[in-house]
Structure 1
């Protein structure tokens, strides 16, 4: 062999490292040896020798040798000498020959790797060097079980490489795979099919695992070979006989599914499915209730689903052609499967039921398209409804308090059933409404003696009608239609029959979900509001013994209040009294166990705010109510804030800071209740929120837990800017001063939107303050950006990039808000420094989002200061810095003109040049033509062309020209 001149033996020391338990140095040596064999022209041949002659018994060494061969075939095949390619073929066949004689087969992981290597060799050589690949293998292995195993594994590996649609292939690979399949169809597919038949027939008793493998191969290949080779009497009868063999039936079922799933002419598909159904029915497979093997039934259900969907697809295609007879025949075939569909849909095992949902859904879609339904079809619809209602029901084992994987799967399955219910509503809303009404009313009459799952599903069905029926039926309880009155009757029953007292969390939740889903019902019948409110407020809702129920009810309560607050004026003070303990802050380590989490309490504070703000009472009363709501928060806040710096343990500090943050968040949430019609001022609450501000702002200068405290106070300020209008302004300077002290990139990045919000909202009112805070803020930003960071610290680099963007956006806000004086009054040196950072941002940082903002700012500054009566010295600055920036930025290698964001930046460059021309006129054109463009070595013709385009009124022309100009310049 050629390898003997290079490396007579393998590196035994390196091979020791292949053992999974080997020490690190040995493993590293094995890796290095692997790389060496991969890279060498012929050193790998030692592995071929080892495999062909069975030199090693260690499984890991054999696997290693196959890996080395795999690499050569996959990545270096074209570069191998013909003798080396021949060596690989011979090695594989010799190795296969050895397998035929072995008493014990190789381990599965080695057989799989060998099959991969066979498949790769096939792909590389079948069309050129090894056209007899399959004939050589088949003639060698015959019906030897070890050989057949490798042959079948190789076919599955070929399917994965050549056919599998889930794998993305390059265009060249796709073309190659098409050629391979074409050649196989012409040359060897009938022989392969014959070999499969022989294997299935020979081994179904003695080697069921080989038979299953072969069935998998048939299922994989059937999608692209001539179906007549498989869908014939002898093959189908063989498959059907295997449907009765316990070890084979699941794989046989899957194989039949793939046959049925094959794309074909609709008439042929109907004939195939019908012939298959006749045989399956005759063999007794349609007696689902007698079958105890649920795993097989799940496969069978999938097969029936495939047959049903195939028939529906045929019907759809035939209906479009107008072929009346074939369409009618196919619809009859679909209808004939409905009894079987219903047996599977209603089966107690959810996997079996879930597998048939697709066919059921599409059958209903067919019914929806028919002009009129027969009595039998209506009966079918009702049967599907009853099946869905039955299957929606929880079983005894469902764990409501600790939901795991089984519970999650049932929730997903319920979503599929909901799709069926929605589709049923489209086919026949009247039948659905009547069926739900019947189930609901019967259950509500006897709810005290009915199991929880029956009660829950009855209420759930009422809830689901809201989405299933069109909005005019479900969302509005007005008019006198049958549907509206049916919903109204059911809602009246729900809220008055006492079912809200049912002692199971699933029923409690469903009750409140449904009440809120149909909250419009209470606008029509407001007399039921007090009873439902009590259910929300007592042990049925917010004080339920299940935390999960309490949490959800807190959210639903806020929704209920928002919709119906106008009908609650008489109960406001009673509600606020009853929920008072649910609004208490829960400081850490007090031993106080809160009924609600802080997230849940947010909804409670919002609901309380909505009640107070919308109360029909004088402003003084609203103020008193709001004060009594927020005073406990501010009192607790002062105490906890004083305590925080004295705390030495980090976890205690963090817990206190969280508690303080919650207090601010709760106060903030109450402000969501205000609107344009009910402002803070109109409700007399300005003073209350002013007191909150005075209480919360000192937290900004707290020396510990700054991140948490600043973040919550800053959020509160955002809300107050919206709600309190100019009343908030006196607090802004001191707050800003605190927030600019010792700040990090993230602090500044979050502070800038606050200042921008103030600038945008109050404009001239805050001009003096902005002039005062402008340079301290800018200097704080410069300071943070200038701090050194580790080269590989990605998080720090990203924070700086985001801060830089925020800074540029801030300058844009100030420049664009009509407050020219804010920047103009900063002194020449400071202005120059800031504008230089804008130039730098436009040119030096490869961040198109920031660059675009910078050019927006430059354009605005030219508009403000670049005219005849603009800022002294600014025209010089335009020519020295802004014009060069417009050319230097797009000329950078990092300025990618194929990137959409970068093209937007280029548009701003064009607008900046246009603005300079607008302000400086012919002087600018002269500068470009005579001075600047010649300095870039731009030819006089192109300079003149560019100057002409700049002078044209249509900016689109300039934008297009600029793109072409820089594309040309970069070539």
Structure 2
């Protein structure tokens, strides 16, 4: 072997040596007999360096994986003998190989087994077992091989081809017939022999039993001698976690429901008599977590058996299984309330499924009702935060608790399905007692009490409003709790978790305030003062900004008397904070968006006159406009890039805030009716100059473009005078992305105003088209995926634009562009339909072509257009589907073919027999289509139902492509 190259295998070798080692590995992989050198060096132990040994096994792995078929029978024999020799040397070595080498060796043995067991090496296991006997080194490698074989043949998480799946099934069937009893016997001997001397081998063997039990005859394992051995391992500290996992796999095996019940029951009796059910006396939480998982598996297995038996109508056995299940509930409850959340989380599945069983029973016994109540109390207890939870800097532990809480919430929802009355009563008890003494209660108790009230909203089946009407008991209980929440003063509690839960709950049950509006002022104060928007925690302020907007949207009708107060209190939170202020604002710009929207909602929905609304809206937006002008002037003079970026962001926020206020308007309360048109027109005048700002173009254009979209919706035709100059600025020095984002604006104007904007569209049409062509024609790097994607999206946007123009019935927009320009545009549409393998764009192009045929293809259509139909549109309808990139198994492509069919249908509608004659006599013969197929196609084309043509064309092109 190349000793110099082998030096590069050392992780500390320099880069050139490592490169050489890599090249050498590739060379050995490709060489037909290099594996023999590696095999010999392993069998004879020529190298002591671990990395070289690993390297040799990698070469063998490649050989067996990819070149096994190329080996002669003699070479295959040599391969097997080499592996066995290596195995033999391992048992005699004074030092065992490193774990990573043993794992790689086991993988090579497993791959050899998979390749040869069914043909050349049926005695694989017998050869291994007779060689290793009970030698600890040999046993270790044998167990590693078994796990590697499990990964290759059984593991369901690994994707296998259908051929591999067939092969694996055959291997398992053959193993079951020939050697599984011998393997099981070897496992028993290993477990029995090494349980006190080699705990690591015993654990490995338990893992093997757990892996194989799912597909072998269970009676080989689930018998007295094996189970007793496993149970004895449960009492040995170093073995019991693995023994637990092994028992879990045994319990999880699919089997007849009656047999499964018997198995679980016998297992439980033995575990109980051995004292394992006394969970409180066990200090080892890792073991209890495993035990909890085992109990969960037993519980769920019994539930599966009960479900099957109940479905089959086997009353006797289903009753017995239900009784067995009920006896496990006390243990389940012990584990559910365990202070360690991992232990508790492991039993939630059993608990959830047990409640599902109770839900299906016609009547609950007193004992079952007591179980429901116990689960309820356990969930309430476990929902509680512990002292260590870090609210300011949430890490992995906190994230795990949040996930665990989600599981508990599912249990609570399920409890509500089983017994809504019980749940409501339990929550009411906890909530009332906690709220009566919130001043002295720890934060976690106060938080969980409010949290439970919050959770009832989803757990109890009712629409939002129905929580406070209809069903008397429930409505009054919720109403009582809400009244207590907002009057007991708990909003003053000094802990962020309680504060947030208070506001979340107030907003969840905002309909309560419609029933009892007298509480609104107090809650408004909480939102506006140190408890809410001025809280010391940024996290609370941020969340409250959003929740306040939701609260106001629901209840604005009840706030008329307080609007002026609210606005004056919010005044300083509405300031646009320029970057040079130097102190952080109370709210981030994202939070401020919600506040601006909230103020908009209050003004627009108030009972004020239009004049007053206008004055209030001007007070809100004038400061934004003033700051905007000031900052835009600064930006034009600013040289420093970082400062430019900060100023541009600030300008963008100003536009965004103004934009957000406009969301308050509706069909009932339009900008015009509220007298606010003038204010927003002033905003437009103020913001549009930013479009011609030479620096930070992308940020500024994006903000102003969004504002224009909003104004087209809100201001109606009053916005139109601003569109031409805005468009002119946006079409200057633009990139693909700019254009792609500008086109939807033009589409929006076209679709909304149609004929009103026709003169403007005629004027802007060619400049826009030329700007698009210019960007598309720019050369780009061959491998620049981003540029390629941007161009594809721009092309789609362009075709979408043409589709909007043609679809809005404004044929004069294109018709007025002069012959050369029209031709240029038409050719791009043909090109889009035929040349670019993008089914989304192709579909749009055929929709356009069909529309143009409808507009211009008749007797009095556009001069010269019929000629264009026959020379270009008809060929496009046939050439596109014949392209190799036109994939008829793709759903988008099939939609394109449908539009293609509709285009042909439209041509026939407009040109009649002349079109059929052209297809029969000229075009289809030029494609070498046989006369009978031409006849058939033309007949289908003349049928009134376009569905027939769509189906026919699909079959026609599928045939043509064979």
Q: Identify the match of residue 615 of structure 1 among 588, 606, 609.
A: 606
* Equivalent of residue 216 in structure 1, options 199, 203, 207: 207
* Counterpart check, 1:303 vs 2:327: no
In 2, distance between residues paired with 1:418 and 1:967? 53
Following the alignment from structure 1 to structure 2, what is the Cα–Cα distance between the partners of residues 80 and 186? 29
**In structure 2, what is the equivalent of residue 119 of structure 1?**
110
- For 1:382 and 1:902, locate their aligned partners in 2 and report how far apart those are by CA, in whole Å: 58
Alignment of 1:353-364 (within 5 A): 353-364=344-355
Deviations 1:632-660 (A, max 9, x none): 11110000001002111111111110000
Partner of 1:579: helix, strand, or coil? helix
Pick from 558, 565, 573: which aligns with 1:567? 558
Quote the residue 1:650 is aligned against: 641
Out of 459, 469, 475, the residue aligned to residue 478 of structure 1 is: 469
* Contact 1:267–1:326 under 8 Å retained in 2: yes
Indicate the SS of the match to 1:44: helix
Query: Secondary structure at 2:219's aligned position in 1?
Result: helix
Alignment match, 1:690: 681
Q: Once the 2 structures are TM-superposed, how far is the Cα of residue 472 of structure 1 from its aligned partner?
A: 5.1
Answer whether contact 1:477 1:485 (CA < 8 A) is retained.
yes
- Alpha-carbon separation, structure 1, partners of 2:530 and 2:653: 25
Are 1:801 and 2:795 matched, yes or no? no
Choose from 68, 74, 89 the match for 2:80: 89
Shifted more, 467-476 versus 330-339: the winner is: 467-476
Question: Equivalent residues in 2 for 1:719-730 (5 A)?
Answer: 719-730=710-721
Moved more, 312-321 or 927-936: 927-936
Q: Classify the secondary structure of the residue corresponding to 1:545.
A: coil
The one of 176, 182, 186 aligned to 1:191: 182
- Cα distance in 2 for partners of 1:328, 1:301 equals 25
- 1:138 CA drift (Å): 0.8
1:507 and 2:498 aligned: yes
SS at match of 1:448: coil
Q: CA deviation at 1:705?
A: 0.2
Q: Quick one: distance in 1 between partners of 2:186 and 2:897?
A: 66
1:114 Cα deviation after fit:
0.5
**2:444 corresponding residue in structure 1:** 453
- Contact 2:465–2:511 (CA under 8 A) maintained in structure 1: no
C-alpha separation between the residues in 1 aligned to 2:694 and 2:273? 84
1:62 paired residue number: 53
The one of 794, 805, 811 equivalent to 1:820 is 811
Whether contact under 8 Å (1:897, 1:963) holds in the other structure is yes
The question of 1:326 aligning with 2:300 is answered no
Q: Render the CA deviation track for 1:54-89: whole Å, top value 9, x for unaligned.
A: 111111111111111111111111220011101111
Question: Partner residue of 2:532?
Answer: 541
- Pick which of 352-361 and 813-822 moved more: 813-822
Structure 1 residue aligned with 2:625: 634
Aligned equivalent of 1:844: 835
Question: Contact between 2:467 and 2:474, CA under 8 Å: does it hold in 1?
Answer: no
Give me the whole-angstrom Cα distance separating, in 2, the residues matched to 1:891 and 1:186: 55
| Structure 2 residue 650 is the aligned partner of structure 1 residue 659 | yes
1:474/1:484 contact within 8 Å kept:
no
Q: How does 1:200-211 map to 2 (within 5 A)?
A: 200-211=191-202
Partner residue of 2:943?
Answer: 952
Match 1:901 to one of 880, 892, 895: 892
Out of 444, 449, 469, the position equivalent to 2:460 is 469
**d(CA) in 2 for partners of 1:126, 1:782:** 64
Structure 1 residue 480, shift from structure 2 partner: 5.7
- Three-state SS of the structure 2 residue aligned to 1:337 is helix
Take 1:356 and 1:384, find their aligned partners in 2: how far apart are those partners?
A: 12
Match of 2:766 among 775, 795, 814: 775
Q: 1:344 corresponds to which residue?
A: 335
Note the 1:147-296 alignment, pairs <5 A. Answer: 147-296=138-287
Q: Equivalents in 2 of 1:595, 1:232: separation in Å?
A: 69
Structure 2 equivalent of residue 131 of structure 1: 122
Deviates more, 1:715-724 or 1:945-954: 945-954
Cα offset, 1:124, TM superposition: 1.0
**Equivalent residue of 1:471, what SS?**
coil
Q: Distance in 1 between matches of 2:187 and 2:519?
A: 72
Residues 531-568 of structure 1 deviation map (CA, whole Å, 9 limit, x = unaligned): 00000000001111111010000000000000000000
Counterpart CA distance in 2 for 1:474 and 1:831 is 58
Give me the CA root mean square deviation: 1.0
Q: Does the 8 Å CA contact 1:137/1:151 hold for their aligned counterparts?
A: yes
Look up the SS of the partner of 1:880 in the other structure.
helix
| Deviation per residue, 1:124-145 (Å, 9 max, x gap) | 1111111111111111111110
- Which moved further from structure 2: 218-227 or 39-48? 39-48
CA contact (8 A) 2:380 2:448 kept: yes
Q: How does 1:571-586 map to 2 (within 5 A)?
A: 571-586=562-577
Other structure's SS at 1:223 match: coil
CA distance in 2, matches of 1:794, 1:178: 43
Residues 473 and 484, structure 1, Cα contact 8 Å, conserved in 2: no
Provide the C-alpha distance between the structure 2 equivalents of 1:758 and 1:224, rounded to a whole number of angstroms. 66
1:405-444 alignment runs, 5 A limit: 405-444=396-435
Partner secondary structure for residue 467 of structure 2: coil
| CA displacement 1:701-727 (0-9 Å, x = unmatched) | 001000000000000000000011011
Distance 1:95 1:891 in 2: 60
* Partners of 2:655 and 2:707 within 8 A in 1: yes
1:705 maps to what in 2? 696
Deviation at 1:879, TM superposition (A): 1.5
- Alpha-carbon distance between aligned partners in 2 of 1:488 and 1:515, rounded to the nearest angstrom: 12
Aligned to 1:5: none
Give the equivalent residue in structure 2 for 1:593.
584
Q: CA deviation at 1:476?
A: 3.1
Q: Deviations over 1:832-865 (max 9, x none)?
A: 1111111111111111111111111111111111
Structure 1 length normalisation: TM-score? 0.98
Moved more, 406-415 or 10-19: 10-19
Report the CA distance between 1:954 and its aligned residue: 1.4
Moved more, 20-29 or 162-171: 20-29
Q: How far has the Cα of 1:473 moved from its partner?
A: 8.2
2:131 to 132, 136, 140: 140
Pairwise CA distance, 1:595: 0.6
Q: Is the 8 A contact 2:638 2:644 kept in 1?
A: yes
Deviating runs (4+, > 4 A) in structure 1? 472-475
CA contact (8 A) 2:464 2:509 kept: no
Q: Is the 8 A contact 1:474 1:487 kept in 2?
A: no
Task: Give the drift of 1:246.
Answer: 0.7
More deviation, 448-457/325-334 = 325-334
**Counterpart secondary structure, 2:229:** helix
TM-score, structure 2 normalization: 0.99
Alignment of 1:854-869 (within 5 A): 854-869=845-860
Matched, 1:401 2:417: no
Cα contact 1:473–1:483 (8 A) shared by 2 = no
1:734 corresponds to: 725
List runs of 5+ in structure 1 lacking aligned partners: 1-9
CA distance in structure 1 between the aligned counterparts of 2:959 and 2:153, rounded to whole angstroms:
43
CA contact (8 A) 1:291 1:297 kept: yes
Contact 2:240–2:287 (Cα < 8 Å) also in 1:
yes
Measure, in 2, the Cα distance between the counterparts of 1:15 and 1:255: 42
Shift of 1:768: 0.6
| Alpha-carbon distance in structure 1 between the residues aligned to 2:958 and 2:87 | 59
| 1:557 corresponds to 2:543 | no
Measured in 1, the distance between the counterparts of 2:638 and 2:598 equals 34
Query: Do 1:475 and 1:518's aligned partners in 2 also have CA atoms closer than 8 Å?
Result: no
